[in-house]
Structure 1
Amino acid sequence: MSAAAEAEVSGRAERLARWTSGYRPLSGVPDAFMDASGKPRAAWTRVLDHLGDLTEVDIAARFVSAVRHIRDTGISYRIYGDKRDHAWPLGSLPFMVEAADWQDLSAGIVERAELMEAILADIYGPNRLVAGGLLPAAVVAGSPEFMRPLAGITPPGGRFLKLYAADVTRGPDGCWQVLADRTQSPSGPGYALENRMVLTRAFPDLYTDLHVERLAPFFQALRQGLALGSQRSDPRICLLTSGPFSSTYVEQAVLARYLGLLLVEGDDLVMQDGALHVRTVSGLKRADALWRRIDSDYVDPLELNPSSRLGVPGLIEALRNGSLVVGNMPGSGILESGALAAYLPGIARQMMNTDLRLSGPRTWWCGDPDSLAHVRQNLDALTLRPVATPPKGMARDAIMAPLAFGADRERVVSALRDRPFDYVAQERAPLATTPGWDRTGGSLHLVPRPFALRVFAAMTPEGWRVMPGGFCRISERADLDPIEMRAGIKAADVWILSDGPVESVPTIQPATQKVRRIAGHLPSRAADNLFWFGRYVERAEAVIRLVVAHLGSVGAAVSADIVGDARSPTSLRIRALLDDWGAISAPDLPTATLAREALSQRDNFGSALCHSLSARANAAILRERLSGEAWRVLADLKDLLDIGDARAYSEAELVGLAERGLGLIAALAGLAQENMNRTAGWHFVDLGRRIERVINTCAFATQFAGDTATAEDLGVMLSLCDSHIAFGARYMQGAALDPVRDMVLLDPFNPRSVAFQIVAIERHLSDLPTLRVDGLPEPHQRLAARIGAEFATGEAAEFDGATLARLENEFERLADAIATRYFPNGPHALRPEKLVGLG
């Protein structure tokens, strides 16, 4: 062996020893790394052997790459009650499970899912459990998750649950134990998918060499399962979200994109003729299945919570007549009641004639007198948590340990005296731990950290199927339970290690798969956001171009004067326009201050940064429709413009920053042109850009191409329309008013001219769905044609200031007419539903 090889082997052994030598499981706490005998589990031995081939610098570099990917693609989450997005906190170590161990856990998950399905069918059906004394009636009827209007409804396909999840950890004996059942609308599968994508990018060799089970077959089966029970052979499946302010909206968008579902909000849906329909730019289209990601009582304000603005009036009617499949069925959240856990062992023995393979901590419901007496006698040895709705100021899954409350212990005792039925008590047991990286002392080593693992099972045409992976939450502190994602909690990808090579997911579909060339249907809300995404990007570009013009980096081809002189008439007009647009706080600011404000001032609603943030906000609502590259460019643009206290930037540096911003905006436009399919979504993005461009160009021409325009004004006008080179190639004698007006307003060959935009706008409007059966143009099409005719037949001299101001208003009217026709909030938003047939 060569000296280099010996040194590599020695370094590897030294790293492994340093990482693991100090690892000690906490006293009395089960551990995922070491078994009860203190030996490392096989799965962790395998992964550490492979990681040992990498230096700590290599590991850090790969994880930095993963963090950058998370930032570039906008993977984020929200803490309940917090309006800010937080970058997804993915840990650098996966959670490891051997295949044999996972098979045992999966069998228990399937058994538990079947039991939950049977309990739901009984609660909303014959109620034999209550009649037989196995379940107190108060546990059912007293639960806020019991949806009385659902009683007696049999779901299409006979299944209440489409997706079941359980939070598990290792119990005191080292075996898997269930902490909680998740049946309402289990979150996490999308984050599990993102975790996998990010970590396998960072450690592709490790992922392959360890034979990690693939997730793709599970998601393919999940999509098939969502459609079970649909009346049509080719059902339209929607994912119902509460919107971008949902704490898991990013995950929902990921799932919609990956599974090919329509991501919809309540306003996108409407009941008609006893069936659910989606409002699209083509009219109403039938929805066959709905993956519900909002709480049960919000799905129908007519029959459930009347204050809900998230659901669809009359949706329960579709469940009664069997025209809609919903997963999970409204009312399924009753199975998450802590009170049910107290009676689950007895119910399992009655229904399945056996004990559950996966048990949970022993539980007592304090609404039962005998159980309450036991809890009072052993209060300091138990933990309490709310059955359903927690006390004010307490998280939904909060654990109350009386000893931990100290002086507030009496408050806990009072709660048990006043409303004991609101609480359950459980045997106190710390969460199991799993290895996590720590740098205390300057060197990298492994330490035990508490974890909770969420495992998912989907109902498929072949029965229940467990995801070969999951969603693991790991606490960075021993005293912080990873009950939910919040500060101090990291996520981990879950790797199930096979004993042999894992079969690749087939990419070639069966020969029976039909060829399709269908554009799909665009929900009206999505069209609205795509349209405004284009407009905000174009507004940001217009502001940046004005800043560049003001700083004097343009116009040299026409005039040798520097436009940056704040006293020149041209500069004053630039300042007036920026002030009118809300990009600056005052028109008499020093030149550099004005440029900084217009580019990066968050308090100025018309600054380039605010427009880029607005575009990003619209893009956030459209995550399932935008590519990762677009997200990266948006992130780069935001970071470029968000320079905070920019007083240290010189004018030259601000020019460079602005020009880089224009380059990023050009990259966004290029991505839209080259990467977006020519479906309705692309039409609306480009429509928004072009309408905003003609409005801005008319405003520019009013200021800089009026009857009294100077050479300096005309130079700025050409620069704002990026037409200097084309103008110089065509006219050799310098700028003159009519030639400049013709170039920026009427030239159909100039891609920045108004005439060019109008041709594109008319083409977009003709390609979008029409609602008229008589072939006549709709109002917005007639308005566009009338404006287009004026530009097609007009002469440059005719476009004076008054005409340009009138045309600017005409284009604003056109934008409003498009909104009225296609978007959900216009005064005639219901009109298309009355004129188009059902799809």
Structure 2
Amino acid sequence: MIASARTGSKSVRRLDDLIEAYEPLPGIPDEFIDAAGEPRPHWLPFLRHFSGLDAGERDHRFDLANRHMRDTGVSYRSYGDIDARPWPLSHIPLLIDEAEWQQIAEGITQRAGLIETVLADVYGKNELVSAGRLPAAAVTGSADLLRPLLGVTPVGGQHLNLYAADIGRGPDGRWWVLGDRTQAPSGAGYALENRLAMSRAFPDIYGELNAERLASFFQTFRSGLAGQAKRADPRICLLTPGPLNETYFEHAYLARYLGFLLVEGGDLTMRGSQIHVRTIAGLKRADVIWRRIDADFADPLELNGASRLGVPGLVDAVRAGQVVVGNALGSGLMEARALMSFLPMLCKHLTGEALKMPNIATWWCGQPRQRDEAIERLDRLAIMSAFGDGVPGFGNEPIVGATLGPADKATLTAAIAARGVDFVGQEVARLSTTPVWENGRLVPRPFILRVFATPTPTGWKVMPGGFCRISNQPDARAISMGTGVQSADVCILSEKPVGAMSLLPTRDKVSIRRLLGNLPSRAADNLFWLGRYLERTEATLRIARCLSGRVIGASVADGSGPGGQTVSRLMALLVLWGAVDKEDSATPTVALSAALHSATHFGSASSLAREAQRTASFIQERLSGDSTRLIASLVKQLGRSDRSSLSEAEAFGRADEALSIVAAVSGLAQENVNRVAGWRFLDIGRRIERGNNTCRFARTFAGSNGPAEDLDALLDLIDSQITYRSRYLVGVALAPVRDMVLLDPYNPRSVAFQVERMSEHLAALPSLRNDGIAEEPLRLVRVLEAEIAAVDAADLDLAKIDDVDGKLYGLSQAIAKRYFLQGALSSGLDKYTGLA
């Protein structure tokens, strides 16, 4: 039983009850309760505050943390997932006191320096292998040894810009290294989000914890990357595999937080041994690439020829010393478990010291003595791949020898004996535990802590915190971010008050700039299509609302009676739109349900909203949290397909609610987004789509013999009823309606207005020509603008409307050809190279 010291107060009794109900696992080290069964002192301030919250307030705080994660869009994917999963935040932080953290930091600092030294030797003089201190097979057996990089010294001389180690307490209570992360370590961004969510949910508690801040580490990391570049104001890119990667949210989040340019392989190209970003203003040099892709995929010319994630020629640019790549290509070599078994000896040889933080005992079976010992100890070891995941020939998971039957054990033993170089044996150690909140009480759960370090001119700096993953299973030996795993904030508790820290530079170090920015072509493409999908969603919603409004309380569904033809045309438009199948258009109630909520019709409002959300996910670093949340709420609103048919009144209400959300998204774009190039492409996309849609509406409802009900519906569809009624005191008439819909430059819903705005946008975008001649998109829009201005409403017929519609389509194609990546990345931008 854990000792208690009641003083009689209610809050203390709550704390004592919380402590006494906690039951550490027998024989397993725990972060909260020490070996003597007493609570560790540095946990008590947090738990004292926490226990003072009643159940309702506690649940409210948990909900605040979850809401922050949800509203911010924090998510991840397990391997093979299509849809992102919400981030699983644990509501109890992992607390480590300053003295113990100092020991951890010293061990990580030593290990990072050791691994950097080994990498420099393997890719440099190769003395460790030559002297027999490191077996050649333990190095060459790894696919992460990149032979094209042998003999190449990275710009700045640094292989590791970000090192991480997964650690846990061993049975003796000491911290042990479970694995090294030198390829492209993930988790630092999630650690930062965990801190933000928890500190906002528990501001009073965190305000008194003296938890070390994380911002200074990220500032050091950013400065380190910039310092290795050859220019004073370098362009730093974060190279991501793309939105389907497991940790894409973190890539987008860190790019925005650190001020880096988020790029994919297709955004980059090599010219003259230099790497450039394809932007709407031509090629702009990339000085530093922080890669979040495996090195093998970084260059399909010299590395993995099947890769579509990398940059052809990147290795040549590295070899020429023209670009900084962090971590250096080939640094993933040190993640091989085979090398872990040699690090204790190498540390002694290279530094004269023993490892301050030992790694888990490892036997590489490529040496006879270690192989024989691993086979002898098989019942006490886990067998793994020496150079990858799983066990060669036995699946993707480690094999615990004690769980094997005689036949399987004999098969595994024979495989190790035949080709021991592919296998390692590692000690089976149960992970230590930390408290989590479960069913109204604290319970112990196993965890792994990932600690990060970055080099500085004076040594390594360790992040004062980390990325903690907690299993939901009491007995866990390995944890990844799969189902049932949580992540906790990691607080390093100082004995002194901790000052505030920000990544914002001081104002005397900031140069004032008012620039459009070098927008990557891929980002421009996605912003353009985000605008188009949002406008398509709005158009479908307006048709549905117009249709439901006209059939409420009227018997016009069969096309008879006043307005019957108008209803038929609205239904036909939904079919043409791809929002409704022809067989679903027999009755308005079925058609309206499909048009609003169908998940299978590509033109339904629900499908279009999901496409907008998907497109927005590709450019998370360029959208505000408010915009992301509004688009998510639109998807949720339209995703409730609770019935196959809706009453007209229900459909009207749902369409109206969804249109309010679309209006809010549009309002944010107009009022809160800087008038830089990204905003212009978002708005151009909306203007193109609105112009096309308006032409189609006019062609359907403003024919020569159309009834007044058709013209009235057209004014509804383009939201111009009030404007028309205030201008014309008489009823609807064909010429005035056509003029207002197509030619009126003062009506923000008219085609003329859309064309004028696009003309302004295209004129403001950077030009690749230096002869003063307008580029094709600008020429086309100016011609169309002049033609519309010259048309008289009396002469406006369906043929002219079709002509305008076609020219808008041609303008869209010209914009794509000029500004976006086309085909096999054969954009004409590639011939324009700038040094900016």
TM-score past 0.5 threshold = yes
2:589 match: 592
Q: CA deviation at 1:227?
A: 1.8
* Cα RMSD for the two superposed structures: 2.1
1:684 match: 681
Q: Measure, in 2, the Cα distance between the counterparts of 1:395 and 1:477.
A: 24
Provide the TM-score with structure 1 as the length reference.
0.95
Instruction: Report SS of the residue matched to 2:585.
Output: coil
Q: Are 1:459 and 2:471 an aligned pair?
A: no
1:413 match: 413
Q: CA deviation at 1:787?
A: 1.2
Matched letter for residue 127 of structure 1: N
* TM-aligned CA distance change 1:828 to 1:60, over 3 Å: closer
Matched letter for residue 246 of structure 2: S
Instruction: Report SS of the residue matched to 1:227.
Output: helix
1:806 match: 803
* TM-aligned CA distance change 1:392 to 1:279, over 3 Å: farther
Q: Measure, in 2, the Cα distance between the counterparts of 1:397 and 1:205.
A: 45
1:227-266 equivalences in 2 (<5 Å): 227-266=226-265
CA contact 2:702–2:734 (8 Å) conserved in 1: yes
Deviates more, 1:395-404 or 1:690-699: 395-404
Matched letter for residue 465 of structure 1: K
1:383-782 equivalences in 2 (<5 Å): 383-391=382-390, 398-406=397-405, 408-439=408-439, 444-505=440-501, 509=506, 511-552=508-549, 568-586=564-582, 588-647=585-644, 649-782=646-779
1:111-130 equivalences in 2 (<5 Å): 111-130=110-129
1:4 match: none
Instruction: Report SS of the residue matched to 2:230.
Output: coil
1:158 match: 157
* TM-aligned CA distance change 1:510 to 1:504, over 3 Å: same
Provide the TM-score with structure 2 as the length reference.
0.96
1:139 match: 138
* TM-aligned CA distance change 1:551 to 1:483, over 3 Å: same
Q: CA deviation at 1:445?
A: 1.1
Q: Measure, in 2, the Cα distance between the counterparts of 1:9 and 1:779.
A: 82
Q: Deviations over 1:4-33 (max 9, x none)?
A: xxx998542343233221322212211111
Matched letter for residue 194 of structure 1: E
Matched letter for residue 520 of structure 2: P
Q: Measure, in 1, the Cα distance between the counterparts of 2:114 and 2:522.
A: 39
Matched letter for residue 449 of structure 1: R
1:175 match: 174
Give 5+ residue unaligned stretches, structure 1. 1-6
Matched letter for residue 780 of structure 2: L
CA contact 2:591–2:645 (8 Å) conserved in 1: no
Q: CA deviation at 1:709?
A: 1.6
Q: CA deviation at 1:367?
A: 1.2
Q: Measure, in 1, the Cα distance between the counterparts of 2:718 and 2:394.
A: 54
CA contact 1:78–1:247 (8 Å) conserved in 2: yes
CA contact 1:698–1:804 (8 Å) conserved in 2: yes
1:45-84 equivalences in 2 (<5 Å): 45-84=44-83
1:36 match: 35
Matched letter for residue 733 of structure 2: A
Instruction: Report SS of the residue matched to 1:454.
Output: strand
Q: Measure, in 1, the Cα distance between the counterparts of 2:505 and 2:272.
A: 39
Matched letter for residue 637 of structure 1: L
* TM-aligned CA distance change 1:650 to 1:295, over 3 Å: same
Q: CA deviation at 1:403?
A: 2.2
CA contact 2:212–2:494 (8 Å) conserved in 1: yes
Q: Deviations over 1:626-667 (max 9, x none)?
A: 000011101110110001333475332221111111011011
CA contact 1:20–1:445 (8 Å) conserved in 2: no
Q: Are 1:24 and 2:20 an aligned pair?
A: no
Q: CA deviation at 1:413?
A: 2.9
Q: Measure, in 1, the Cα distance between the counterparts of 2:571 and 2:303.
A: 55
Q: Measure, in 1, the Cα distance between the counterparts of 2:7 and 2:529.
A: 56
Instruction: Report SS of the residue matched to 1:448.
Output: strand
2:3 match: none
Matched letter for residue 145 of structure 1: D
CA contact 1:482–1:489 (8 Å) conserved in 2: no
Q: CA deviation at 1:168?
A: 0.6
Deviates more, 1:64-73 or 1:749-758: 64-73
Instruction: Report SS of the residue matched to 1:181.
Output: strand
Q: Measure, in 2, the Cα distance between the counterparts of 1:788 and 1:294.
A: 46
Q: CA deviation at 1:394?
A: 9.6
2:341 match: 342
Q: CA deviation at 1:389?
A: 2.9
Q: Measure, in 2, the Cα distance between the counterparts of 1:563 and 1:415.
A: 77
Matched letter for residue 670 of structure 1: G
Q: Deviations over 1:451-475 (max 9, x none)?
A: 0000101123443211111100001
Instruction: Report SS of the residue matched to 1:478.
Output: coil
Q: Measure, in 1, the Cα distance between the counterparts of 2:283 and 2:138.
A: 41
* TM-aligned CA distance change 1:354 to 1:594, over 3 Å: same
Q: CA deviation at 1:66?
A: 2.0
Q: CA deviation at 1:812?
A: 1.0
1:193 match: 192
Q: CA deviation at 1:827?
A: 8.2
Q: CA deviation at 1:253?
A: 0.3
Q: Measure, in 2, the Cα distance between the counterparts of 1:580 and 1:648.
A: 20
* TM-aligned CA distance change 1:740 to 1:690, over 3 Å: same
CA contact 1:820–1:826 (8 Å) conserved in 2: no
Q: Measure, in 2, the Cα distance between the counterparts of 1:121 and 1:685.
A: 46
2:284 match: 285
Q: CA deviation at 1:580?
A: 1.1
Instruction: Report SS of the residue matched to 2:508.
Output: coil
1:3 match: none
Deviates more, 1:762-771 or 1:68-77: 68-77
Percent identical residues: 49
1:354-365 equivalences in 2 (<5 Å): 354-365=353-364
CA contact 2:557–2:568 (8 Å) conserved in 1: no
1:294-313 equivalences in 2 (<5 Å): 294-313=293-312
Q: Measure, in 1, the Cα distance between the counterparts of 2:394 and 2:23.
A: 32
Matched letter for residue 584 of structure 1: V
